[in-house]
């Protein structure tokens, strides 16, 4: 396993001809790595830390983060039903947040669903 920011950003081949100044990426060549091993004899998992250092600061806020803001299966059904009823995405998001006060979902994730 590795940090979601490991590696380098690779732009899509279709965009190479465009001027991409000022665009950003989450990738910053972070070296954090974990490796898991399964022992068949004892049926145990072992986790080894190959590199425990992140080369970036942690995000100050989680709203809008890909994993923290993901929409659960029951919420996806609700989004689909409300979309069929021609509800505006911001109203769908408001309804989701009323049902789950701890939700970190952003409106972009409602659009993606």
pLDDT in tens, 46-89: 999 888 888 887 776 666 566 677 888 888 999 999 999 999 99
Give me the pLDDT at residue 110, please: 87
Report residue 102 CA to chain centroid gap: 17
**Long-range contact pairs involving 68-73 (C-beta distance under 8 Å, separation at least 24):** 68/104, 69/103, 69/104, 69/105, 69/106, 69/109, 70/105, 70/109, 71/96, 71/105, 71/109, 71/110, 71/113
E strand segments, 1-113? 33-39, 44-51
What are the tens digits of pLDDT across the range 92-107? 999 988 988 888 888 8
Q: What is the pLDDT of residue 52?
A: 84
- pLDDT tens for 9-48 read 776 666 555 555 555 667 778 888 889 999 899 999 999 9
Instruction: Please report, in angstroms and rounded to a whole number, the separation of the first and last CA atoms in the chain.
Output: 27
**pLDDT score recorded for residue 8:** 75
pLDDT in the model for residue 22: 54
Q: Provide the residue ranges of all domains of the chain, joining segments of one domain with +.
A: 1-57, 59-113
Q: Collapsing DSSP states into helix, strand and coil, what is residue 45?
A: strand
């Amino acid at each position: 396993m590795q940090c979601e920011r490991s590696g380098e950003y690779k732009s899509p081949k279709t965009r190479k001809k465009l001027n991409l100044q000022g665009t950003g990426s989450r990738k910053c060549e972070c070296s954090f790595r974990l490796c898991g091993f399964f022992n068949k004899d004892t049926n145990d998992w072992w986790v080894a830390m190959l590199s425990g250092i992140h080369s970036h600061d942690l995000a100050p806020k989680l709203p809008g983060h890909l994993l923290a803001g993901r929409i659960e299966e029951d919420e996806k059904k609700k989004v689909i039903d409300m979309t069929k009823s021609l509800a505006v995405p911001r109203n769908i998001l408001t309804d989701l947040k009323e049902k789950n006060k701890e939700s970190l979902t952003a409106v972009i994730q409602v659009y993606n669903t």
